[in-house]
Structure 1
């Protein structure tokens, strides 16, 4: 039987060093060992199995924002996400599941061993907070993609122990996410440590906690968590929308948490330019590597930007043959799949829009903070602000905030999850399908990878109708 919950085989699992073999080698003995383990957890987020590539298909291509130019590339494994034809044997499902649990295992290893290591308590608390944040973020992605998933909060020392894990109810997963983020917010520093640019902060924990509560429709708690981020005064909207995505302005004052990439370190560069550039084109990449034409903006999105919206030309580029492409997170690579653009997971504009939404849900006010924060976003985009008279009801305000999120946060891996949490996914996707597909409610979750079912058929069950 093949072990696949955390990796592709028992041998692969045991051969990971130092990430998964610590129980055998006693690796975690020094501060340097812990720091290497922490770096490994961040690397899991950076991997192509998560934010480096695969999440784009789950979170943007799946939505009405983008599509794949060629649905037959690699046997259709990417195009199937676009057309709602994903089957349990799709290898992207398997790789992403494994990548997420690899990251969780790395967090659990650090959390399970750090108290035995001699180091300053302040630094120990910081690293604990970072691992709790990454674990919570990873489970938040897992539960929104697959629903019930195995909840593993301890190091899996024996690979065969993984066969004991079955799917945990979504409600329990969310309880763990909330617990981890509340603890992380207490342990983490409020400001980024200069020597640890890109590491999680209390602001990141609270921003993510606010998003979790918004997803759970617990609007009072969402309001509290998001207000902590605003009141911290650590973050701000940049004056120029373009500066948020300027590769020379990484980790800006608007950025709360972003995945770090570096073109000058082998295998540490980002793949976005090669993934996003129109298929077969060389203008975006300078001819370096293959251009896939994935995450291509839909005509629906492109045509719905308001006249004068400054975000449109910053978010969407166009090559000489007229094809458009996702311009965010794109800078020409120095080698194939080796570019310098980071990927932003959480930023202050998202917090302001979520806070405005939470305020509105907690009690509509015609002319309050919610309207002010919404208009702050619009002013920067070069658009006219809304008046209280135009948004004269809770329902009108709700719809406008949801709409604004689409254009402000396009291509940042929020759209599919926004459609899910607002209950709009089936309606909007069927309206946008142009007859290519018609989705049903069961397709709001992805199929559990078949490898997981095969590894433990008496423990793992498949999502309905797959």
Structure 2
């Protein structure tokens, strides 16, 4: 998809500057780039288009989280389609549709960011003030950082496309960067974004605070414990972010943008979140092709493990008695948020960083803050090793239907222990075969 002439979102770029109207349009069509971003109105529409890319069904709206759900060992695939079945069985190939569509969607998001970064500084429009330009540029840098972070944790080192794409031949012939260099680009973009962004609280758009949260996660993955602790603390100490109680309060009763949420993607009737279709049973107008397995159901229903997180699951009536996930449940269907990062994760990031730094008492306090909200007994883990195991176990039941479990097991080196997968080459996904055919400079991950 990097080689295809980049598409900035259809008619709304040309017809309206309304954020809400634009968010109600799925990004599908291609427009003349020379006319796409020419003033404040079209710039604002393009920013909204960039967020639509992030929320697309192939990215956070469905397929990218599914790569983690179905790989992580707690979710069963109950359908008959080949692509998700391969992921669930851990027999992924380079022609897998979910892998290919997620890869393409992430690069489309990067291309949207690149186009804003290239065009916005040169716009002359009285309505596009210097501060507004900075905010747009900061959002684009932050979006590119998140996108490359997801590529890095999913595929390893990738091609770093840092310029806008106008023609099929643009940005071809670029070799893959190392994993270290890919992560370095993530940090560079986050660092660049931070001073450009407003220091406000917005749960659906990038702000300086969102960057701090993403930096905490980034430093955790890079095992830079002091920085992970420091950036997590910035969010935890901000009174705009709090663990809501009970656990279900951040999603039940059509709740959106609660103090629990640091960054969530908003959807609407015409820009839908595809998760519901896979989680809900047919009686609730879904297909229930992703379902919690027996072990996860047992854990969530255990008062000492899941506590009030049991509200994440429900069971159909007899004779089926089928367990299903109900994080994505809303009516109208598909209007559920997609949760990119919550304050609970910041607590557990800080707990893990503090455990690694030998701050066992403080680490335990952070872990128990999350457990207390879930109404489970306080942990008594007293050693670094016990704490790290307890934190990993906590993440499993805290984020079972979010984009976490597989990547969590990979970064902590627990894939072989938990899932029995000893071939480390399978800890990353294959590069899509279509991309290899389109650009000979792109090389496949070893083992595929």
Q: TM-score, normalised by structure 1?
A: 0.86
Q: Does 1:276 pair with 2:266?
A: no
Q: Does 1:420 pair with 2:410?
A: yes
Distance 1:139 1:246 in 2: 32
Distance 2:102 2:434 in 1: 12
Distance 1:251 1:98 in 2: 28
Distance 1:237 1:6 in 2: 43
Q: Quick one: structure 1 residues 443 and 232, their matched pair in 2 at CA, closer, same or farther if it must change by over 3 Å?
A: same
Q: Quick one: structure 1 residues 355 and 294, their matched pair in 2 at CA, closer, same or farther if it must change by over 3 Å?
A: same
Which whole-Å deviations, capped at 9, do the CAs of 1:249-299 have from their partners, x for residues lacking one?
Answer: 201111000011112xx2x12222211123xx21x22xxxxx332321111
Match of 1:350 in 2: 345
Match of 2:233 in 1: 227
How many residues are aligned here? 425
Distance 1:292 1:23 in 2: 38
Distance 2:143 2:199 in 1: 16
Q: CA deviation at 1:456?
A: 1.9
Q: Quick one: structure 1 residues 154 and 403, their matched pair in 2 at CA, closer, same or farther if it must change by over 3 Å?
A: same
Q: Does 1:97 pair with 2:90?
A: no
Which whole-Å deviations, capped at 9, do the CAs of 1:216-247 have from their partners, x for residues lacking one?
Answer: 11111111221222233321111221111125
Q: Does 1:307 pair with 2:270?
A: no
Q: CA deviation at 1:423?
A: 0.4
Q: CA deviation at 1:313?
A: 2.5
Q: Quick one: structure 1 residues 15 and 363, their matched pair in 2 at CA, closer, same or farther if it must change by over 3 Å?
A: closer
Match of 2:288 in 1: 293
Q: CA deviation at 1:6?
A: 4.7
TM alignment of 1:65-464, pairs within 5 A = 65-70=74-79, 72-73=80-81, 76-117=82-123, 118=125, 119-192=128-201, 198-246=204-252, 248-263=254-269, 266=270, 268-278=271-281, 281-282=282-283, 284-285=284-285, 291-305=286-300, 306-307=302-303, 309-320=306-317, 321-332=320-331, 334=332, 338-365=333-360, 367=361, 369-386=362-379, 390-430=380-420, 440-457=423-440, 459-464=441-446
Which whole-Å deviations, capped at 9, do the CAs of 1:296-332 have from their partners, x for residues lacking one?
Answer: 1111212234325333421111111211111112224
Distance 1:292 1:102 in 2: 28
Distance 1:380 1:201 in 2: 27
Distance 2:8 2:344 in 1: 42
SS at match of 2:141: helix
- RMSD of Structure 2 on Structure 1 (CA): 2.1
Q: CA deviation at 1:37?
A: 1.1
- Aligned residues of 2:67 and 2:98 also touching (Cα < 8 A): no
- Aligned residues of 2:78 and 2:291 also touching (Cα < 8 A): yes
Q: CA deviation at 1:14?
A: 6.7
Which whole-Å deviations, capped at 9, do the CAs of 1:198-227 have from their partners, x for residues lacking one?
Answer: 111222111111111111111111112212
Match of 2:58 in 1: 49
Distance 1:63 1:84 in 2: 10
Which whole-Å deviations, capped at 9, do the CAs of 1:88-142 have from their partners, x for residues lacking one?
Answer: 1122222211111111000011111111123112211111111111111111111
Select between 26-35 and 342-351 the one with higher mean Cα deviation: 26-35
Distance 2:180 2:404 in 1: 21
Distance 1:166 1:462 in 2: 11
Distance 1:456 1:383 in 2: 52
